[in-house]
Amino acid sequence: DVQIDIRNVGKVYGSKTEEPVVALDGVTLRIRRGEFISLLGPSGCGKSTLLGIIAGFQSATSGQLLQDGRPITRPGPSRTVVFQDYALFGWMTVQQNVEFGLKAKGMGRAERAEIARALIAMVRLNGFEDKFPHQMSGGMKQRAAIARALAPDPDILLMDEPFGALDAQTRVLLQEEIARISSEAGKTVIFVTHGIDEAVFLADRVVVMSPRPGRVREEVLVPLPRP
Ligand code: ADP
Ligand code: ADP
């Protein structure tokens, strides 16, 4: 059951003053529904570019990208992104940040509040609903960002080095959490990282990318069941 079908996708960053940069060169990848994929490769190999194209934030220069048989042309609530720097709204509480993801759906106030509370509990931030981002640790901010990304009930959760800014201990905690959450919530996850341990620990399949120009070099099935 192919959910995302990436066919021969290329991306060239053009510039008037410098040489164009070939960030992706013929990437072909099929992702099944419910799969947890780690996209692994050294810095600069095009991981963020590929994630941005899947999200719909950027367009490919060549090739085709389909979700459930339809071309991906713009960002949408069926694909949400968690970034390394959390990207929470600093002027909103945790509750408001999470509810923000629900507003687009035209949901009533009470229903929004209830769903947000359930998501906040899922990421184990109960009791911190009324805190602002600056009042929380990095780990807690990333938990809030994960809850916000899950709010629109996306089919696909895209994560771009989500734990890269956290200390080692917090990172391990959140790795365990995202493994639990993704299987509980039944989401397809594409997890970008340059950490081999993290990639292998989390994924059903590790997709290894070559340095520039970015290509899929290898796909490795991870044989051990996840915790
Ligand atoms: P990664 O996420 O693996 O570190 P990126 O997708 O960020 O890789 O970058 C891939 C290549 O494209 C790099 O050489 C980077 O310098 C280049 N690049 C990324 N974004 C831009 C941009 N907006 N303009 C020009 N070059 C870019
Ligand atoms: P994690 O958030 O991944 O559990 P952290 O090391 O970020 O790990 O935080 C551990 C715990 O310490 C949190 O769950 C929270 O209870 C408390 N804590 C950390 N930083 C703060 C803070 N700035 N304000 C309130 N409580 C905090």
Atom of ligand 1 nearest to the CA of 24: 10
State the helix-helix crossing angle for 168-185 and 138-150, rounded to 10 degrees. Answer: 20
pLDDT at 167: 92
Instruction: Output the six-digit token pair for 91.
Output: 């002027």
Q: Indicate whether residue 137 lines ligand 2 (CB < 6 A).
A: yes
pLDDT in tens, 16-63: 888 999 999 999 999 999 999 999 999 999 999 999 999 999 999 999
Phi, psi of 50, rounded to the nearest 5 degrees: -65, -40
> What span, in angstroms and rounded, lies between the C-alpha atoms of 140 and 209?
30
Report the residue among 21, 40, 57, 61 best suited for mutation to probe ligand 1: largest number of ligand atoms under 8 A from its CB.
21
57 within ligand 1 shell (Cβ under 6 A): no
Ligand 1 within 6 A of CB of 45? yes
User: What's the mean pLDDT when you consider all of the chain?
Assistant: 93
Confidence at residue 186, expressed as pLDDT on a 0 to 100 scale: 87
- The model's pTM: 0.87
44 in contact with ligand 1, CB cutoff 6 A: yes
Q: Radius of gyration of the chain from Cα atoms?
A: 18
Is the interface score ipTM higher than 0.90?
no
Could you tell me the distance, in angstroms and rounded to a whole number, from the CA of residue 62 to the centre of ligand 2? 44
137 and 170 Cβ atoms separated by less than 8 Å: yes
- For residues 139 and 174, the answer to whether their CB atoms sit within 8 Å is yes
Question: What average pLDDT score do residues 193-197 get?
Answer: 93
Q: How far is the CA of 141 from the centre of ligand 2 (A)?
A: 9
